[in-house]
């Protein structure tokens, strides 16, 4: 019966000219001549900054310019890990703030972001890794993070189906357990911020590409787009993998290189993995989604490229790691594989704050780890634009740190679990 009726109901909607699709975000309006703030990039970071500008600071004459579709960059390509188990005090404080905003985000936005705080377990397969875990755990505890080094019995309790000798190559010696870690639905985070920002008057312009800038002295006065030129009071650059190229258009040189990062997802399985699981030594991490699919990721591709193609090499590498950890995955089908372009800095930490141009603000260098930062970077970048002051929590992430050689080395904490 249903099979017979379905085409008729679809036809009814298809031919009814007055049928209004359910829209969370208003359609792209005409561009105005001038905005107080222009945000480049309609990913999570740009959308969150717009929301906090409008909601917290009452600045609503804001345009988000997105060359593709909303969140179609790395925001919709990431593997949704959120955590605060970093190495340096500056990073831990910042990601802790982000995590606390994730904890209340569904309520704050009135939009279900499917936050699941199930903890993250990172495996150690060598004494050197165990030593680095002790250092990381002590640092985290000192900063008030829920983090501890655990032995093999606890690893087994947390992850009963794990193959502890990992194919004989990488026997598990212990782990780093971060009870605060979890996942949040990436599209929902973007759509939640987009919906609430646009309700406050922020304009979201999809298929609107920034092509250049007009400057006067050390101030950018206008932004050029494929839909015309607009005047801008402030500009926030949050362009994901293309951050280096956009900054160059404004005459700003950033220490950023692009590397592809790939991930893949299997067919759905019954629940068997209740934590986020990661192995830095094997460059593999796994998380089971709420649909039962196993999301598998690893390290960046080893060459610089601004491309979103996925490769067989990486599929083989990710599959090998996953099967060593869980041998019963050997005959599971891979449903999808994809890639994003990541904007990597030399110290694996982001750049947030001012640029050599007076009214041009940077939110970039998010590489393979920036989804978890979305609410805190949005909130703090909005604060900078609204007040003109860089809050203490962002000061260590300035562009000048590269000149002063005050680097924030987070390579060990970001390499394989993002």
Q: Check: CB of residue 348 under 8 Å from CB of residue 333.
A: no
Token pair listed for 22: 């359910």
Binders of ligand FAD among residues 243 to 282 (CB under 6 A) are 246, 261-263
Binding segment (CB under 6 A) for ligand FAD, from list 12-20, 192-200, 367-375, 405-413? 367-375
Residue 54 vs 174, nearer CB to ligand FAD = 54
What percent of the residues of the chain are helix, what percent strand, and what percent coil, each to the nearest 5?
A: 35, 25, 40
3-state class of 394 per DSSP? helix
Binding segment (CB under 6 A) for ligand FAD, from list 3-11, 76-84, 99-107, 132-140? 76-84
CB of 135 to ligand FAD, least distance (A): 22
287 alpha-carbon distance from chain centroid: 16
The span from the CA of 163 to the CA of 325, in Å, is: 5
CB of 83 to ligand FAD, least distance (A): 8
> Is residue 79 a contact point for ligand FAD (CB under 6 A)?
yes
The correct pick among 31, 37, 38, 43 for binding ligand FAD (CB under 6 A) is: 43
Binders of ligand FAD among residues 166 to 195 (CB under 6 A) are none
The correct pick among 80, 279, 355, 398 for binding ligand FAD (CB under 6 A) is: 80
Residue 174 vs 222, nearer CB to ligand FAD = 222
Binders of ligand FAD among residues 52 to 71 (CB under 6 A) are 65-68
> Is residue 85 a contact point for ligand FAD (CB under 6 A)?
no
CB of 72 to ligand FAD, least distance (A): 5
Q: Check: CB of residue 176 under 8 Å from CB of residue 39.
A: no
The correct pick among 35, 39, 44, 139 for binding ligand FAD (CB under 6 A) is: 44
Residue that is written with structure tokens 């002295």 in the block: 217
313 alpha-carbon distance from chain centroid: 24
Binding segment (CB under 6 A) for ligand FAD, from list 41-49, 112-120, 121-129, 144-152? 41-49
Binders of ligand FAD among residues 303 to 362 (CB under 6 A) are 340, 342
Query: What does the per-residue mask of binding to ligand FAD show for 208-227, with x meaning CB under 6 A?
Result: -xx-----------------
Beta bridge partners of 334: 266
> Is residue 129 a contact point for ligand FAD (CB under 6 A)?
no
Burial of 104 (0-12, 13-18, 19+ CB in 10 A): exposed
Token pair listed for 176: 């780093």
The span from the CA of 24 to the CA of 197, in Å, is: 11
Q: Check: CB of residue 116 under 8 Å from CB of residue 182.
A: yes
Question: Torsion angle of alpha carbons 374, 378, 384, 387, nearest 10°?
Answer: -150
Query: What does the per-residue mask of binding to ligand FAD show for 372-391, with x meaning CB under 6 A?
Result: x-------------------
Size of the site for ligand FAD (CB under 6 A): 41
The span from the CA of 171 to the CA of 154, in Å, is: 15
Q: Check: CB of residue 64 under 8 Å from CB of residue 203.
A: yes
Residue 43 vs 321, nearer CB to ligand FAD = 43
Please choose, from the candidates 282, 285, 69, the residue with its C-alpha nearest in 3D space to the C-alpha of residue 187.
69
Residue 74 vs 354, nearer CB to ligand FAD = 74
Centre a 10 Å sphere on the Cβ of residue 355 and count the other Cβ atoms it contains.
22
The correct pick among 369, 381, 385, 398 for binding ligand FAD (CB under 6 A) is: 369
CB of 171 to ligand FAD, least distance (A): 26
CB of 245 to ligand FAD, least distance (A): 7
Residue ranges of alpha helices (H) inside 75-117 are 89-109
What are the φ and ψ backbone dihedral angles of 203, each rounded to 5 degrees? -95, 130
> Is residue 41 a contact point for ligand FAD (CB under 6 A)?
yes
Residues that bind ligand FAD (CB under 6 A): 40-46, 65-68, 72-75, 77-81, 209-210, 238-242, 246, 261-263, 297, 340, 342, 366, 368-372, 418
């Amino acid at each position: 019966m249903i099979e017979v009726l379905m085409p008729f109901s679809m036809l009814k909607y298809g031919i009814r000219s007055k049928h209004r699709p359910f829209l969370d975000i208003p359609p792209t309006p005409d561009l105005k001549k001038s905005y107080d703030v222009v945000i480049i990039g309609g990913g999570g970071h740009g959308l969150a900054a717009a929301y906090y500008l409008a909601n917290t600071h009452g600045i609503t004459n804001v345009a988000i310019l997105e060359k593709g579709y909303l969140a179609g960059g790395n925001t919709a390509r990431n593997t949704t890990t959120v955590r605060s188990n970093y190495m340096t005090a500056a990073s831990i404080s910042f990601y802790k703030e982000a995590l606390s905003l994730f904890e209340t985000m569904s309520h704050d936005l009135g939009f279900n972001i499917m936050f699941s705080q199930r903890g993250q377990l990172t495996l150690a397969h060598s004494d050197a890794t165990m030593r680095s875990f002790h250092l990381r755990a002590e640092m985290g505890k000192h900063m008030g993070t829920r983090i501890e080094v655990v032995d093999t019995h606890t690893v087994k309790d947390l992850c009963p189906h794990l193959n502890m000798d990992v194919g004989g190559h990488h026997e598990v010696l212990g782990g780093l357990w971060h009870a605060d870690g979890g996942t949040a639905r990436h599209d929902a985070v973007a759509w939640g911020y987009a919906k609430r920002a646009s309700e406050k008057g922020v304009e979201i312009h999809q298929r609107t590409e920034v092509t250049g800038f007009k400057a006067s002295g050390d101030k950018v006065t206008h932004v050029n787009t494929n839909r015309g030129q607009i005047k801008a009071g402030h500009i926030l650059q949050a362009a994901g993998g293309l951050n280096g190229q956009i900054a160059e258009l404004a005459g700003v040189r950033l220490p950023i290189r692009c590397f592809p990062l790939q991930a893949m997802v299997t067919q759905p399985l019954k629940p068997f993995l209740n934590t986020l699981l990661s192995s830095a030594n094997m460059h593999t991490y796994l998380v089971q989604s709420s649909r039962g699919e196993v999301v598998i990721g690893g390290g960046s591709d080893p060459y610089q490229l601004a491309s979103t193609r996925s490769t067989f090499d990486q599929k083989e590498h990710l599959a090998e790691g996953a099967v060593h950890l869980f041998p019963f995955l050997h005959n599971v089908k891979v449903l999808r594989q994809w890639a994003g372009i990541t904007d990597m800095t030399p110290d694996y930490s982001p750049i947030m704050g001012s640029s050599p141009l007076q009214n041009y603000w940077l939110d970039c260098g998010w590489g393979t780890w920036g989804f978890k930062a979305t609410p805190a970077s949005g909130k703090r970048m909005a604060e900078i634009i609204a007040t003109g002051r860089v809050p203490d929590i962002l000061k260590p992430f300035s562009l000048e740190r590269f000149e002063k050689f005050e680097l924030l080395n987070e390579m060990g904490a970001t390499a394989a679990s993002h």
